[in-house]
């Protein structure tokens, strides 16, 4: 049985190798990774290992994004990285649930959000506080 235990130990070691990656310093990142994660250059070295690992995986998709999506990605990255793991998990759950909503309802929600944002911009320009958005039936 001892040989089986050693075999299992070796296989477990192999299986857990990717998860056990060490913290990567900002200077050790490739130019492509640095470009995708540029908004985090200052705080990168202080981010937890697991968060770095996840961000690097997400950044792999950056080169294939449209220019508009790249811009959104960079704009949101800092806010995203400052969220707690629980907040990020909750956001993922919400996004998953939102994707299950029928397409026409999704479009309706998007229209409402756009209207609300435009209203906020107008009101902040005129100095009047924004009213809470009303849901359409």
Partner 1 sequence: MNINTNSPNENSRHIAPERIAQLLTRAAQQLDDDTVTALRRARNVALEKQSLSSPVFALSAAHNIRWLMPHSAHQWMVAIILFVAILFGGVSYWQHENDMSHLDAAILTDDLPLEVFVD
Q: List interacting residues with partner 1 (CB under 8 A).
A: 1, 3-4, 6-8, 11-12, 15, 18-19, 54, 57-58, 60-62, 65, 69-70, 72-73, 76-77, 79-80, 83, 87-88, 90-92, 94-96, 98, 109-110, 113, 117
Q: How far is the CB of 82 from partner 1 (least distance, A)?
A: 10
Q: How far apart are CA 4 and CA 91, in angstroms?
A: 43
Give the residue from 17, 25, 61, 62 showing the smallest Cα distance to 42.
25
19 versus 125: smaller Cβ distance to partner 1 = 19
Beta strands in 1-137 (DSSP E): none
27 versus 96: smaller Cβ distance to partner 1 = 96
Q: How far is the CB of 127 from partner 1 (least distance, A)?
A: 22
> In degrees rounded to 5, what are phi and psi of residue 3?
-65, -35
Contact 22, 49 (CB under 8 A): yes
Extract the tokens encoding 94: 């919400």
1 versus 125: smaller Cβ distance to partner 1 = 1
25 versus 114: smaller Cβ distance to partner 1 = 114
Q: How far is the CB of 12 from partner 1 (least distance, A)?
A: 7
Instruction: Give me the count of residues in the chain.
Output: 137
- DSSP classification of residue 89: H
């Amino acid at each position: 049985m001892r040989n089986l235990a050693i075999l299992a130990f070796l296989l477990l070691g192999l299986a857990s190798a990717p998860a056990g990656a060490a913290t990567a310093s900002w200077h050790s990142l490739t130019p492509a990774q640095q470009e995708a994660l540029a908004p985090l250059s200052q705080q990168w070295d202080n981010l937890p290992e697991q968060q770095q690992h996840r961000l690097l995986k997400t950044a792999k998709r950056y080169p294939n994004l449209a220019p508009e999506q790249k811009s959104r990605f960079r704009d949101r990255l800092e806010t995203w990285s400052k969220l707690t793991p629980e907040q990020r998990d909750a956001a993922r759950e919400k996004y998953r649930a939102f994707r299950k909503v029928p397409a026409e309802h999704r479009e309706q929600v998007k229209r409402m959000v756009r209207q609300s944002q435009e209203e906020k911009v107008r009101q902040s320009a005129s100095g009047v506080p924004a009213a809470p958005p009303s849901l359409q039936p």
